[in-house]
Amino acid sequence: MITVQKFGGTSVGSAQRIAGVADLAVAASARGEKTVVVTSAMGGVTSTLVAAAERATQGNWNFDERPMLAERHDAAARALFGDDARLLAMVREQLDHGLERVDSLCFGLSLVRELTPRILDAISGTGEMLAAPILAAAISSRGVASEAIHATELIVTDDQFGDAEPLAAETRAKTQGRLVPLLQAGVIPVVTGFIGATAGGVTTTLGRGGSDFSATILGAALEADEVWIWTDVDGVMTANPADVPDARTMRAISYSEASELAYYGAKVLHHKTINPVQFARIPVRILNTTNPDGQGTRITFEGHPSPTGVKAITSIRNVSLVSVSGRGMQGIPGIAARAFGAIAAERANVLMISQASSENNICVVVRSEDEARVVRSLRAALEFDIMKEHIDDVTADDSIAVIAAIGDRMAGTPGIAAKVFGALGAENINVIAISQGSSERNISLVVSESDASRAVRVIHEAFALGRKN
Ligand code: ASP
Ligand code: MG
């Protein structure tokens, strides 16, 4: 059995946590499983590196965080295998090398003062390169051979820096070539999550939180039996417990439910995690390092459909509703096409679309960080229609949230929308816009941000998703 096991930033956040991870890897090897470990950077390190890059771009040529980062990693190394001079020296060399690289990049940035996504990837992707050698050495010090490997040697991506897409065939060839011999020799490879490289060898990243995606990319490339994502919660929940205190961990969900949930703000998984394993139907488990015997959530093709249709309710904040409206829009073809073209040109992701059949208004939900750019781009692209008064204006509202009810069985189950809106109506919660994809796995609605928590709670309640039920 081959498993790819990914450990997130909190799971490798301290010497003590790394020891726990090393124990889990060693236990898997003792059970005779061939294990590939994927590690995140130690918790908080990626954000520290991003902040350093931003300050360097403002002209600060000193990598001020270097001593702190050096000490944090070195302290973990000393605590884990300080008595083994050879291991310690080896790891220190790699830590030094990684930090030196960031130092040089930041110095360069302070001179050119332009932070391109390409340079940001080179800097932000270093955190994983600092963590991997420590974890590999911790495993070795427990008597099981282990080797730290940079995913730049394995995962080949396109050159969309900051959000790179893996190239499956190339990745498969490289990953199998490099990892299979190690697995056969009983070595546990510890691979850096989050990063990859273009065919030309330039470092890319898969987007923040991307180590989950790294794990499934490698799982698919190796035709692994399972991918385990170790995190600091018990699994995927029916709602965010901050909104709904009696939210419950779901034992089993389907790939499509997991994707919808990841997309709609349940922060457990990077939103592309499921893509690589879907075709090969490799099961994914979400497990908790602080509760390793818990069952977690198992994600498979079939999942475990809920009889009521709805399995989970999520919410996304920090989004804006951008509306293009005007009575003159009726029957004029091409406005939607130009509007979406203008949004795409800004590379802004559209989370939700809705247009009423009166055609007076098209509204889209985008991340608030993209709002200003999207509005500007729409106004420019629709200038002529605004001039001719087909369109009154392009407006934006950032005081909203998107709520989504998700479940496979919603498809073909009548009455779900009625129940959702009935619950909101009974609580006097105003619904600003609605959309349901034709996959019918998701009903999304826009409400005022101040109503978001309550909206999630009442829908959760209406479908009896809570623990007490
Ligand atoms: N270290 C990266 C981040 O913080 C990737 C990850 O942890 O998944 O975004
Ligand atoms: Mg994560």
Q: How far is the CA of 179 from the centre of ligand 1 (A)?
A: 22
Q: Is 383 left (phi over 0), alpha (psi -120 to 50) or beta?
A: alpha
In a domain, 158, yes or no: yes
Amino acid at 95: L
Return the pLDDT at 309. 87
Does residue 469 register a pLDDT over 70? no
- In whole angstroms, give the CA distance from residue 383 to residue 364: 18
Give, using CA atoms, the residue closest to atom 8 of ligand 1. 209
Shared domain check, 323 and 227: no
Indicate the residue among 206, 232, 258 that finishes a domain.
232
pLDDT range class, residue 265, cuts 50, 70, 90: low
Does residue 437 register a pLDDT over 90? no
In a domain, 369, yes or no: yes
Indicate the residue among 232, 257, 284 that finishes a domain.
232
- Give yes or no for a contact between 455 and 403, defined as CB atoms under 8 angstroms apart: yes
Shared domain check, 35 and 184: yes
Does residue 297 register a pLDDT over 90? yes
In a domain, 260, yes or no: no
CATH code assigned at 454: 3.30.2130.10
In a domain, 283, yes or no: no
Residue linked to tokens 């816009």 = 433
Parent domain of 439 = 312-462
Q: How far is the CA of 8 from the centre of ligand 2 (A)?
A: 6
Closest by alpha carbon to 246, among 463, 462, 460?
460
Q: Ligand 1 in contact with 208 (CB < 6 A)?
A: yes
Return the pLDDT at 438. 63
Return the pLDDT at 334. 85
CATH code assigned at 134: 3.40.1160.10
Give, using CA atoms, the residue closest to atom 6 of ligand 1. 209
Q: Are strands 156-157 and 195-198 parallel, antiparallel or unpaired?
A: parallel
Q: Count the domains in the chain.
A: 2
Residue linked to tokens 């060399």 = 93
In a domain, 286, yes or no: no
In a domain, 426, yes or no: yes
Does residue 115 register a pLDDT over 70? yes
In a domain, 39, yes or no: yes
pTM greater than 0.75: yes
Shared domain check, 85 and 224: yes
Q: How far is the CA of 38 from the centre of ligand 2 (A)?
A: 12
Indicate the residue among 191, 208, 232 that finishes a domain.
232
pLDDT digits (tens, 9 = 90+) for 26-35: 999 999 999 9
Return the pLDDT at 266. 66
Backbone angles phi, psi at 203, to 5 degrees: -65, 135
Shared domain check, 196 and 99: yes
From the CA of 208, give the closest atom in ligand 1.
9
Q: Are strands 252-254 and 34-39 parallel, antiparallel or unpaired?
A: unpaired
Q: How far is the CA of 299 from the centre of ligand 2 (A)?
A: 16
Does residue 306 register a pLDDT over 60? yes
Return the pLDDT at 456. 97
In a domain, 371, yes or no: yes
pLDDT digits (tens, 9 = 90+) for 38-92: 999 999 999 999 999 999 999 998 999 999 999 999 999 999 999 999 999 999 9
Q: What is the mean pLDDT of residues 243-248?
A: 92
